[in-house]
Structure 1
Amino acid sequence: MRMIVEGVSYAYSKSKVLKDVSFEIGKGECIAILGTNGVGKSTLLKCLNKVIKAQSGKITVGTTNLDSMSGDELAKVIGYVPQNGSFPDSTVFDAVLLGRKPYIKWDATKNDLEIAEKVIKSLSLEEYAFRKVNHMSGGEMQKVSIARALAQQPSVLLFDEPTSNLDLKNQLEVIGIIKDIVREQQISAVVTMHDLSLALRFADKFIMMKNGNIYAMGGMEIITPENILEVYGVNVSIEEYNGHKVVIPN
């Protein structure tokens, strides 16, 4: 299901964080939002999920305007994985089952339980199903956050710095999971990231943000030393190694 973002702006007090941001993303596509701290990446994700309301502009998923959706309706089409997901003192299974909350009327049905079980299996979390989430490692908890969002059966997944605070092995595993989910389930994904080399491994499109605006948008061709210098203020080289492009600070 296509998400279309048109002219979205947002300000905290008198400080404008987002300025007329527009883009769209289709089924089975992953777009990486890149830029320095404070440029508006996380604020943009919160607007896309109505955690905060865009002060101008329009966001639609399919043909439906987000403003017309109730909380439960929104949760059925958009899944949100924050930087540091919080969990109640619950097992992995119960945490993932929480993703079914928009669908549950009185109690979880057999279908809800089966979906939670299927998602847990798809992320290879079976052996942790009845372990307390708060006793797990950072990488394992991040996978539980993704599983909970997937249990919502959304059309669009939003990830805010999904690899922050993870070691290299878990970074690659989480990015691989996101890439597989997008391709296999034809979900649209919007991911904020700092690691440019990691973004180049999995994203189809890129948005480079500067001062709350979109500075550049497109495919891998926009990830150039010139654009990186303009957006990040850092001189870099871009090399290819083992079939992957790598950004190397000079």
Structure 2
Amino acid sequence: MKLDIIDLNLSYGSTKVLNGLNMQAKPEITALIGPNATGKSTLLKCVAGILKPTGHILLDGEEILDKRNKELREMISYLPQEIPDLTTLTVMEVVLLGRVNSLSWKVSEEEIDQAYGVLEDLGLDDLAPRPMTELSGGQQQMIYVAQSLVRNPSLLLMDEPTNNLDMQKQLEMFELIKGVTAEKEITTLMVLHDINLASRYADQIVVLRDGKVFCSGPAEEVINEDIIQEVYGVKSTVHFHQDGFPQIVPLCSVRCLPWQKRKDQGLAHQGSVDFGQQN
């Protein structure tokens, strides 16, 4: 399923968040990267139908901004950065919510088998009967990843899916997403702050700045020291892994904060307290 985003605009009050954004994504992993407050999460919410921007969002040439939520759910699976509190449910119930709108709906044996299958793929099937309250934050995050996959979506939207995950779980999750995306020809669009993970696993990287696309392409084209400094304001070194993808080592910020200026000028902080000997 091909995703086309054309001249997308959205404001929060007087603040322009998306500013004539244009991009494309196809059945592969596309990573959205960029500094904070550049519109990455807002863009996912627009594609998911949560926010109503102006412009066009096309799936295989069909406008989706006018579709009802029910129709959207059949095509799209969205994993938000802030997960709703479902800790009163069991793991299996949370995963099954990816297949039905409400647990009061009749759940088929096939749907239960699909839920177990996804949990098994993630090595989490032993957690199925346990309450979510007994799980660590990282385990809960993996369960929500399972919930997003059990829908068998054509378009998979993931906002910071590695939140709360340790190094091993991050790699395992990305290997699964990479495999499922290729096997089922899913268009996967995810927001990431870890540039090195994006470089390793994404087929395409879209760099956002000021609510629009700054540049896009495969990692070897967009991950370099000049772009990192211009977009993030960070000096870095970039080297290539033996498998061919670039990896970044951040060195320092190019911005000088007020405390650094005072330090360089040898000035004390105004209003500072003397913690020396007191009478």
Decide: shared fold, TM above 0.5: yes
Change (3 A) 1:67 1:105: farther
Q: Is the 8 A contact 1:158 1:190 kept in 2?
A: yes
For 1:206-225, what aligned pairs fall within 5 Å after superposition?
A: 206-220=205-219, 221-225=221-225
Q: Is the 8 A contact 1:33 1:192 kept in 2?
A: yes
Q: Is the 8 A contact 1:73 1:102 kept in 2?
A: no
For 1:83-122, what aligned pairs fall within 5 Å after superposition?
A: 83-86=81-84, 87-101=86-100, 106-122=105-121
Q: Is the 8 A contact 1:102 1:152 kept in 2?
A: no
Secondary structure of the residue aligned to 1:69 is: coil
- State the 1:189 CA deviation: 0.7
For structure 2, the 5+ residue unaligned runs are 252-279
Letter in 2 for 1:246: Q
Deviations 1:28-87 (A, max 9, x none): x11111111111111111111011111x11112224321232212111111111124232
Match of 1:245 in 2: 246
Secondary structure of the residue aligned to 1:101 is: coil
Give the TM-score of the pair, scaled to structure 2. 0.83
Supply the distance in 1 between the matched residues of 2:75 and 2:101 (Cα, whole angstroms). 10
Q: Which has the higher contact order (CA 8 A, sep 6+)?
A: 1
Q: Is the 8 A contact 1:95 1:144 kept in 2?
A: yes
Deviations 1:135-167 (A, max 9, x none): 212222122111111222210111111113322
Change (3 A) 1:65 1:105: farther
For structure 1, the 5+ residue unaligned runs are none
Change (3 A) 1:50 1:3: same
- State the 1:92 CA deviation: 1.0
**Percent identical across equivalent pairs?**
33
Q: Is the 8 A contact 2:138 2:163 kept in 1?
A: no
Moved over 6 A (4+): none
Change (3 A) 1:69 1:104: farther
Supply the distance in 1 between the matched residues of 2:197 and 2:47 (Cα, whole angstroms). 23
Supply the distance in 2 between the matched residues of 1:48 and 1:211 (Cα, whole angstroms). 18
Match of 1:170 in 2: 169
Give the TM-score of the pair, scaled to structure 1. 0.92
**How many residues of Structure 1 are paired with residues of Structure 2 in the alignment?**
248
The answer as to 2:12 corresponding to 1:12 is: yes
Supply the distance in 1 between the matched residues of 2:126 and 2:5 (Cα, whole angstroms). 40
Q: Is the 8 A contact 1:79 1:156 kept in 2?
A: yes
Match of 1:193 in 2: 192
For 1:10-159, what aligned pairs fall within 5 Å after superposition?
A: 10-27=10-27, 29-54=28-53, 56-86=54-84, 87-101=86-100, 106-159=105-158
Q: CA RMSD for the aligned pairs?
A: 1.9
